[in-house]
Amino acid sequence: AKAFGLRVLFYDPYVRDGADKALGVDRAETLEDLLAVSDAVSLHANLTASNVRLLDARAFAAIKKENCVLVNTARGELIDDAALLASLENGTLAAACLDVHWHEPFAEPPGGDRGRALVEAGRLVCTPHAAWYSSEALTEIRVLASENIARALRGDPLHNVVNLDHIVQPPRTPVSTI
């Protein structure tokens, strides 16, 4: 969004103060503050017990901008589907794009006939958790995996490891010196 000259505003109670300055973005003090001024909301959050239905009827009521759109590529459970449908029906939200859903694999829009009507009207787009899928992404996955394997064989630190504390790394001689 910054590359297009747009203002980027985020809300994350777990990100340290100053991260916004380092990234050149603005920070909202509350989720409601963010929703009140956003033209587009994109969710990028892990699912925890404390954020199930993060976007509920109260959160949707905080949206004040006309034509606000919502994109969820994070976790389906972050959104209360009934509140989402009501917000689309009453015009609080102009549109929503969901790549993640409460029930996966994706079979049909939330809310049965209500959701299908919104899809037909072009106000609700649902994809089967595959928005990342492209031939370029598949190539990149292979390249990044190969590069990380090479790093491991050389004894270099690994990149993007989510469970590094569970990986036992005994001392070893890098392949390049054998």
- How many other C-beta atoms can be found within 10 angstroms of the C-beta atom of residue 119? 13
Is 89 marked active-site?
Answer: no
Asked if residue 73 lies in contact with residue 40, where contact means CB atoms within 8 angstroms, the answer is: no
Whole-number Å distance between alpha carbons of 27 and 18? 9
Check 7, 44, 58, 104 and give the catalytic one. Answer: 104
Is 75 marked active-site?
Answer: yes
Is 140 marked active-site?
Answer: no
Known catalytic residues? 75, 104, 129
